[in-house]
Amino acid sequence: MKQLILASASPRRKELLTQVGIFADVVPSEVEEKITKTLPAEVVEELSRQKCLDVAGRMAEDCMVLGADTVVAAEGRILGKPGTLKRAEEMLQRLQGRTHQVYTGVTLAEVKAGRIVRAETFSSCTSVTVCPMTDEEIAEYARSGEPLDKAGAYGIQGVFAKFVEKIEGDYNNVVGLPVAAVYQRLRGWPS
Ligand SMILES: Cc1cn([C@H]2C[C@H](O)[C@@H](COP(=O)(O)OP(=O)(O)OP(=O)(O)O)O2)c(=O)[nH]c1=O
């Protein structure tokens, strides 16, 4: 396989690729993310494409570029990163005691002789059921710092695992990258 460039600053995505033996160089996208869609699957696909094509357009060497974006969809709303403690608590209040969906969009592009010669976009959805949480549990978890940089204000791979009743679909998709689907697609691409 050609050198893979990961157009994402998310350490979790890099770790997931490394876990399956795909060693990527990181070149984070600097694109201003612009949402024109409304369905969560379309939103993550659109954002993953913007991140991927931004970085791919700057590559001079032959390579593959991967962009990804993750959001949580709950009761018709799309939840990104909370950014503040208050927003984190509001999001967790919305998720506790219910089932929601996590969507990750992925775009893969091939760069040849300084040009993008191919790009493919797809998304993956996982359902996550969260146990009922008390107000104290929500406040304590929000204060832990874990939620702030994560879509939906939680990290399934961290302390929040104790509130996850069940999931349906790819676990790694929740963490930020459906790594099996990525590998299966990359396998079919030119070496
Ligand atoms: C739901 C959930 C999300 N997340 C993370 C994955 C993503 O890093 C983050 C969603 O933010 P994204 O905007 O998808 O990605 P990012 O800002 O981390 O990186 P970049 O924009 O450079 O690609 O939430 C978890 O780590 N665990 C979880 O359980």
Q: Does residue 190 surpass a pLDDT of 90?
A: no
Q: From 4, 30, 61, select the one nearest 187 (Cα to Cα).
A: 4
Ligand 1 closest atom vs CA 176: 6
pLDDT at 54: 97
Q: From 109, 105, 160, 110, select the one nearest 130 (Cα to Cα).
A: 160
Per-residue pLDDT reduced to its tens digit, 69-89: 999 999 999 999 999 999 999
Answer for the pair 54, 30: CB distance below 8 angstroms, yes or no.
yes
Rounded to an integer, the average pLDDT of 102-109 is: 98
CA 70 to ligand 1 center in whole angstroms: 6
Mutate which of 167, 175, 177, 182 for ligand 1? The one with the most ligand atoms within 8 Å of its CB, which is 175
ipTM: 0.96
pLDDT at 189: 81
Q: Which domains does the chain have, with CATH numbers?
A: 4-187 (3.90.950.10)
**Which residue puts its alpha carbon closest to atom 20 of ligand 1?**
8
**Residue 191 — pLDDT band, cuts 50, 70, 90?**
low
**Residue 142 — pLDDT band, cuts 50, 70, 90?**
very high
54 is catalytic: no
Q: Which of 25, 54, 62, 69 is catalytic?
A: 69
CA 150 to ligand 1 center in whole angstroms: 5
